Amino acid sequence: MTPERWQQIKKLFHEAVELEPNRRAAFLDSACMGQQELRSAVEALIRSHERAGSFIESPAFAQAAELFGDERPALAVGDSLGIYRIVRQLGKGGMGEVYLADDTRLKRQVALKILPISLSSNEDRLQRFEQEARAASSLNHPNIITIYEIGAEDGARFIATEFIEGVTLRRLMRDHQPNLIEALDISVQIASALAAAHERGIIHRDIKPENIMIRRDGFVKVLDFGLAKLTERKTERQNTGSEMPTKVMTGTEPGMLMGTTAYMSPEQARGLKVDARTDIWSLGVVLYEMIAEHVPFEGETNSDIIASILKTAPPPLSSDLLVIPTELVQIIFKALGKEREARYQTASELLSDLRSLKQELEFEIKLKGKEAVRSFSYEPQSFETHSQRKAISTSEVAERFLEAPTLISGSVSDSSASSRKSFREEPRSSMGGRFSAFKNIISTRVVLALIAVLILGSTALFFYRRQTNLKWAMAQIPRIEELAQAQNFFAAYDLAIQAQKYLLDDPTITRLMPEISLSISITSEPAGARVFLKRFAPDQAGNFPERQFVGTTPIKNLRVGRGDYVLYVEMEGYARAEQVISGVLWNDGVSMFVPPPTGIQIRLAEAARVPDRMTFVPDGDYRIVAWRRPTDERVHLDDFLIDRYEVTNQEYKEFVNAGGYLKKQFWKYPFIKQGKTILWEEAMREFIDRTGLPGPRSWSNQNFPEGQAQHPVTDITWYEAAAYAEFRGKKLPTIFQWEKAARNGQWSFAGITMPWGVQQGATAGRANFSGGGTVPVDSYEFGMSPYGCFNMAGNAAEWLLNETSGSFFTGGGSWGDLPYVFGYYGTYPGLYSSNKLGFRCVLNLPGAGGDQGAMKLRLEDEAPSYTPASESSVNSLLHYYEYERTPLDAQVTEVLETDVWRRERISYNGADGERAIAYLYLPKNFQAPYQVIHYMPAGDVFNRARSLPDSTEAVLSPFIKSGRAVFAVVFRGFIERDRPPDYREHSPATVEFVEDTARNIIDARRGLDYLETRGDIDAGKISYFTFSSFDYKVILPAVEPRYRAVMLSGCGIDSVITRWNPAANLINFVQRISAHKLVLHGRYDEAVPLKNSAEPLFRLLREPKKLSIYEGGHVPPQEVFVPVVNAWLDETMGAVRRE
């Protein structure tokens, strides 16, 4: 067929469809002048045009394929295609013929789509068709048509789908305008289908009434998911990706092609890349049309329609039959935002609003009765035609609303004036007719009165509902503030969003919104990736909510409830990127700070480049930002991959089973023992399990402990970790690679920076610190790093590649450490092993140059010497820490009883008359009066990463169980006690800093005053224990003489304090500690090095003193710590008194 012939067919088609059906035959007789082929082609288009409402609902021009001679013979009733027996033809269009068929195997009816030759013979189009059909068939959702089979039989390609008995939404709207509940119900079901499809990365692109089927029971089915773009009926695709540009065919001729154009989003109309938000726009058009009975963007030609879509605002919503709620108007116009960012960002969000409004309306209907909304049956035979509906009189409108059993027809005209004459003036014979006319007048007046009542009632209903909603929303404001004050930001935000629907400019919500929400912008390279978020909001059982699709990149200023999320970025052909978004407010103990908006840039890696269980880290220069960094050098890192998880016992067993300990080729590095090189054979004798076989020290018979296959392998040396990496064709990470993967240079003054961001509060649910052992390596999804690595903080500390003075670096901290140890690097001899130390590997990608920061690093190993101020000078500084013994006004404000102790929360007058807080733990099953350990916690409590009771119970519970009481004071800035509003941080060199220090020391000393008032406390046997300190926590026992014993664990001197004010410099005070002193320290302490920090402190202390060194890091294992301290307390304080 020539283009000229096709243009002639189209011209005659347009002229014919404008005529009444009974005039078309004569027109075609004249226009076709006996050309039967021409007439048949035009009649075929007319038949296709009039078949709107059939199963496939394809526009006339889309069905033009039947005219090009590529038809296959039609199947007849009773013919078989494989297991399908033809019942009848349902339709024919551009996608081929559609038949109702019996599935002879499963005994069900199906819709069988037979593809045209033009599609099935084109390999490229066929491949695209099968790809999209398979994707669509994976959508298991009740509102999406089910695809049973994609097959071929006797040279015919076909799709077997469920058969839907019903009508299209187009047919429904033509024959019957849906009421509000019906329109919302249909829209809810469509949005639910879209939400499910979008989460699977499938975009419909052609949502319109023709692709929506309504069953007789009102159930909605969305057709042609993933198929519309393949027909190329209205658009030409430039590629097969899910984010392809759309080229719109914008011919000027009027006709059915305009039907789809009217539902195109602005980005489709411009030929730009589309994402899930294009379907949201199209659904907005459909919902608008159901309410208003016309589409929001109209024109005589496709070009006119597109211009309207791009440039004009939709007309205000109005309807002759419906009172339209403001909330519905807001939903529709938000869906029709010209810019994608202005629309709903996900179908799930739109679905939520539609459901909420539908539920509100249904509730009001129950309250007001059925007159509020017309009832409706989906039975096709009950529909009036479009022309009938347009002809309905005003009285019939009233009748519909009131559901009267019969229609009242008629209207008031001038001729009715004669009915005002008296009956006596009429002949008797005309009385019957006159009486009938009188009845008509009365009926008409009744109808008008009913209409007035109806209008008033509908208006009253609208304002009643509006006032009810406003009243409800206003009542939520105090609750929103209460939730925000309690930092339950998710609940506050969700409630605020609901209330905002009715209180658009409420000042309280506007004020609270920056606090209870955060703004996220996400870009990816390449763009067009799907983005999901999962809230860090576990339920009581510890289960987290399902992730939610939020849009495709780029995403700009997405507002969500404040809190933490796992972010997933996915794109076909690329490895998934994951990380945690931290939205916590920063709290310095004085006030809350709202962090700046979150901006995330992600570079995706091709999936083929990323092996399973590894993640991609992009190139760039990197400088270490940890607290005690071994170098300030900046190195260039090339692209690399790093294990997502720590190496597991199961993975390491593969190395053992493969003879890893027997093959020298995996052992690339010289073995150093006590500064000397040893032979490979000698080293292998070190690497044995409990049965003497090669393997980790905690294994037995070359098997890991039962149930720990997915736990990190531990109890291995650096050499074993390096050999395993060689076995896998990988390396141990350099300190630069490890830290970039773990924190990507993140640092903040607002608190301890962890892989997931600034840590505020406990690490529960994020990392395995202060635990009882390792956990599976895929635990703590919400603790993952910026590049999706699990457990880079806690669980097992990790061996790194870099060497220093015969030792090797470790990072991350372990299950036995406190969270802040993540910010320090340890160093251990290569032959050291521990149940707290494991590893992960990296894979440097081809083309990487340089050593990736693998250089040997030199640490400061010279022990400094410090000289305190003279005794007279120190005596002149003591006045800062003196206080008057004014009344304490102590009160026990809370009591908690457990099986082993009683915990009391006490308040009393502290420094400057401010109320101080303390906790006192009294042991059970022991005799009072009790010895007391005064506990001064580590930095995690001072940094608000942990509560004081949590720290006290985790560290000192063995001593309470041993019969000693424990006392701990809450200082300003702790979680339990904010600083005053006028508090300001001061430089350690200032007098103001000394005064702040003195307030805490005085609070502690007045706490001892309180202990002296209690009969169940032996005030003569108070000991002092502090952990991880180089500040006033060591000054306190120097100015307080009531301590009989002082224990310093993980404490030392940092050279920085030499620049502090002399009154706050512990160097000047430690010689004043007169009590018995125990210094407990790890040989490999990461945070407070033994040689150049702890030993200088110990040298300054006067006798009596004792140094106890254990083989470990900063935090002493309880099996070492508890026996040593208990024995020392028994020696210096005396044994506890048992009942």
DSSP annotation of 734 reads P
**645-669 confidence digits (pLDDT tens):** 999 999 999 999 999 999 999 999 9
What is the pLDDT confidence band of residue 860, given thresholds at 50, 70 and 90?
A: confident
Alpha carbon distance 160, 640 (integer Å): 47
Q: Is 869 left (phi over 0), alpha (psi -120 to 50) or beta?
A: beta
Residue 1054 DSSP SS3: coil
Which residues share a beta bridge with 636? Answer: 621
pLDDT number for residue 129: 65
- Would the CATH topology of 166-237+258-372 be identical to that of 614-844? no
* Angle value at C-alpha 597, between 594 and 601, nearest 5 degrees: 145
Which residues share a beta bridge with 775? Answer: none
Contact at 8 Å (CB) between 585 and 760?
A: yes
Of 87-96, 112-121, 401-410, 457-466, the one with minimum mean pLDDT is 401-410
Q: Which amino acid is at 160?
A: A
CATH topology of domain 886-1133: Rossmann fold (3.40.50)
Indicate whether 73 pLDDT > 60.
yes
Which positions ≥6 away from 119 have C-beta within 8 Å?
Answer: 95, 96, 125, 126, 129, 157, 230, 231
Can you tell me which residue has the tokens 């005589």? 300
Q: Which long-range contacts (CB under 8 A, 24 or more apart) does 685-691 make?
A: 686/717, 686/831, 687/661, 687/716, 687/717, 687/719, 687/720
Q: Which long-range contacts (CB under 8 A, 24 or more apart) does 1134-1138 make?
A: 1134/931, 1134/1021, 1136/926, 1136/930, 1136/931, 1136/962, 1136/963, 1136/964, 1137/926, 1137/927, 1137/928, 1137/963, 1138/925, 1138/926, 1138/927, 1138/963
Alpha carbon distance 641, 730 (integer Å): 10
**984-1028 confidence digits (pLDDT tens):** 889 999 999 999 999 999 999 999 999 999 999 999 999 999 999
pLDDT number for residue 131: 66
Give me the CATH code for the 614-844 domain, please. 3.90.1580.10
Alpha carbon distance 129, 94 (integer Å): 13
Torsion of CA 273, 277, 278, 282, to 10 degrees: 180
Question: CA nearest 852: which of 757, 717, 730?
Answer: 730
Computed over its alpha carbons, how large is the radius of gyration of the chain? 40
pLDDT number for residue 409: 26
CB burial of residue 1102 (10 Å; 0-12, 13-18, 19+): exposed
Contact at 8 Å (CB) between 655 and 667?
A: no
Which positions ≥6 away from 478 have C-beta within 8 Å?
Answer: none
Q: Which helix (H) or strand (E) holds 939?
A: helix 939-942
Antiparallel, parallel or unpaired: β 1043-1049 and 842-844: unpaired
Alpha carbon distance 284, 781 (integer Å): 36
What is the pLDDT confidence band of residue 453, given thresholds at 50, 70 and 90?
A: low
Q: Which residue has the higher pLDDT, 726 or 261?
A: 726
pLDDT number for residue 128: 63
- Say what percent of the chain tops pLDDT 90: 56
**319-351 confidence digits (pLDDT tens):** 555 568 888 999 999 999 999 988 999 999 999
Q: Show the tokens assigned to 117.
A: 């030759």
Alpha carbon distance 232, 238 (integer Å): 11
Indicate whether 362 pLDDT > 90.
no
Contact at 8 Å (CB) between 819 and 940?
A: yes
pLDDT number for residue 979: 85
Contact at 8 Å (CB) between 9 and 38?
A: yes
Can you tell me which residue has the tokens 């009154």? 1063
pLDDT number for residue 389: 34
Q: What is the 3-state secondary structure (H, E, C) of 244-283?
A: CEEEECCCCCCCCHHHHHCCCCHHHHHCCECCCHHHHHHH
What is the pLDDT confidence band of residue 384, given thresholds at 50, 70 and 90?
A: very low
Q: Show the tokens assigned to 958.
A: 């063995």
DSSP 955-1010: HHHHHHHTT-EEEEEEPTTBTTBPPPTT-----TTSHHHHHHHHHHHHHHHHHHHH
Which positions ≥6 away from 583 have C-beta within 8 Å?
Answer: 489, 518, 560, 562, 563, 564, 565, 595, 598
What is the pLDDT confidence band of residue 439, given thresholds at 50, 70 and 90?
A: very low
Indicate whether 755 pLDDT > 90.
yes
pLDDT number for residue 147: 87
Q: What is the mean pLDDT of residues 166-180?
A: 88
Alpha carbon distance 846, 850 (integer Å): 12
Measured CA to CA in angstroms, residue 855 lies from 83, 282, 800, 926, 1018 at distances of 70, 58, 12, 57, 57
Q: What is the mean pLDDT of residues 1048-1066?
A: 94
pLDDT number for residue 984: 85
Signed CA dihedral, 561, 567, 573, 574: sign only: positive
Contact at 8 Å (CB) between 1064 and 994?
A: yes
Give me the CATH code for the 516-609 domain, please. 2.60.40
pLDDT number for residue 280: 96
CATH topology of domain 166-237+258-372: Transferase(Phosphotransferase); domain 1 (1.10.510)
Q: Which residue has the higher pLDDT, 228 or 588?
A: 588
DSSP 790-805: S-SSBSSEEEEEEEET
What is the pLDDT confidence band of residue 382, given thresholds at 50, 70 and 90?
A: very low
Predicted model pTM: 0.68
Can you tell me which residue has the tokens 């004036």? 417
Indicate whether 366 pLDDT > 90.
no
Torsion of CA 667, 672, 676, 678, to 10 degrees: -30
The highest-confidence range among 186-190, 201-205, 1026-1030, by mean pLDDT, is: 186-190
| Domain layout of the chain by residue ranges | 3-162, 166-237+258-372, 516-609, 614-844, 886-1133
Signed CA dihedral, 458, 461, 466, 467: sign only: positive
CATH topology of domain 3-162: Phosphorylase Kinase; domain 1 (3.30.200)
pLDDT number for residue 283: 97
What is the pLDDT confidence band of residue 178, given thresholds at 50, 70 and 90?
A: confident
Q: Is 224 left (phi over 0), alpha (psi -120 to 50) or beta?
A: left
